[in-house]
Amino acid sequence: MTKLLLSLHVLAAIVAVGPVTVAASMFPATSRRVIGAPPGEALPVLRTLHRVCRVYAGVGIAVPLFGLATAGSLGVLGDTWVIVSIVLTAAAAGVLALRVLPAQEHVLAAVEKSAPVLPPQRLAMLTGLFNLLWATVTVVMIVRPGSTTGV
């Protein structure tokens, strides 16, 4: 059962988190091209990128759920590397849900109304922070500081 849970955890991370990180990273660059361009050109792309982020963020809930189930079946829920991963995952989810997605919605609303779009550097920074948090979770999962497995 543990192998199945771990496989589902890794697959969920690849399938859910991967598209969010790519789409979120593309959004600021695409929004930069929107500034001064006719709204019809980039708006569909921005909408699609935002939708990918929103939908896959919802699907991404499976990653920590399978992760917790896997950690429980391995009996490592109290291990340092698992706790650090949980905290970093929560931080990444918070950055995405509370900062990145609302900032994307703000850009979309401004573009749809042909209003001035704020420079996307802040959104790019937040997206970079989100990606850095996920990269750190990946490293922690591989290195497992404090693990007794000898890795």
pLDDT at position 43: 83
Q: What is the residue type of 142? A: I
Residue 151 lies inside a defined structural domain of this protein: no
CB 53 within 8 A of CB 27: yes
Question: Residue 131: phi, psi to the nearest 5?
Answer: -65, -40
Residue 19, in any domain of the structure: yes
d(CA 105, CA 103): 5
**Is residue 149, in this structure, part of any structural domain at all?**
no
Residue 150 included in any domain: no
Which residue range is the domain that position 123 belongs to?
2-142
pTM beyond cutoff 0.85: yes
Pick from 28, 26, 24, 39: which is nearest to 116 by CA? Answer: 39
Decide: 13 and 63 in contact? Cβ < 8 Å: yes
Residues 130, 24: contact at Cβ < 8 Å?
A: yes
User: Is 132 contained in some domain?
Assistant: yes
Q: Determine the Cα–Cα distance for residues 38 and 107; give it in Å rounded to an integer.
A: 14
Low-confidence ranges of the chain (pLDDT < 50): none
Domain count, the chain: 1
Whether residue 148 lies inside any domain: the answer is: no
In a domain, 106, yes or no: yes
The tens digit of pLDDT for each residue in 17-44 reads 999 999 999 999 888 877 666 656 778 8
Residue 147 lies in a domain: no
